Amino acid sequence: MNAQRPRDPTPAGRALSRAVVGIERRAAARGWDAPVGVFALVRTAAALAQDPDLAGLLDTAAIEEARADPCALTAIEQEGLPPAADLGDLLGRLTWPPAVDGAAVSVERIMVGPASEAGAAAIEDPGERIAFIRTRPDRQDVRLVAGVLRSGEAWCAVRARSHDSDAAVIQGEAVVPGLVEALAATLA
């Protein structure tokens, strides 16, 4: 079997990976059991050119990065999100204006092994299903951060509560493909 070599990231893809990792590290600094976070991603240099007063809201490092890299992104956390039954419902309600270059989301989930997943699937009541999953010995709490750009690039970062360190964060283009796809649909 031939393994495909990962494609070299574009400048925009590299900027996206930096933005996603930055969002994940800010979420890690806040701690676990946090609500869903939704972020607009904008090219910092373009935003500064359109509104120079924005410089007063950014730290020096972000301004310097924008000067060095026109693809550098600023993540703007969204407040006042519409009420939603679940993450899929929330993402289905979001749309972004053309000035937004991409979007990202940070969400915590519980993952279980195949046997526990099969047991949970047999439980019809959602509350009972969640209670069942929370008591499983193979339970793994994770934070998923995914980001996508209108140009098609995607990046994900995943941190497990049981391995809660920056060095243990798993990263890649399609680590959480369903979340990437749902997030990309908000930009269509």
Give which of 99, 125, 4 is closest to 47, Cα–Cα.
99
Domain boundaries along the sequence of the chain: 11-185
Locate all alpha helices (DSSP H) within 53-113, ordered by sequence: 60-68, 87-93
Residue 83 gets which letter from DSSP?
A: P
Amino acid letter at 151?
A: S
* pLDDT, position 139: 87
**Structure tokens that stand for 38 in this block:** 């939704």
pLDDT tens for each residue of the chain, 188 residues long? 444 445 678 999 999 999 999 999 999 999 999 999 999 999 999 999 999 898 889 989 999 999 999 999 999 999 999 888 889 999 999 999 999 999 999 999 988 888 888 888 888 888 888 888 888 888 899 999 999 999 999 999 999 999 999 999 999 998 999 999 999 999 98
* pLDDT, position 6: 53
Residue with token string 């006042």: 80
* pLDDT, position 3: 42
Give which of 126, 130, 107, 98 is closest to 39, Cα–Cα.
107
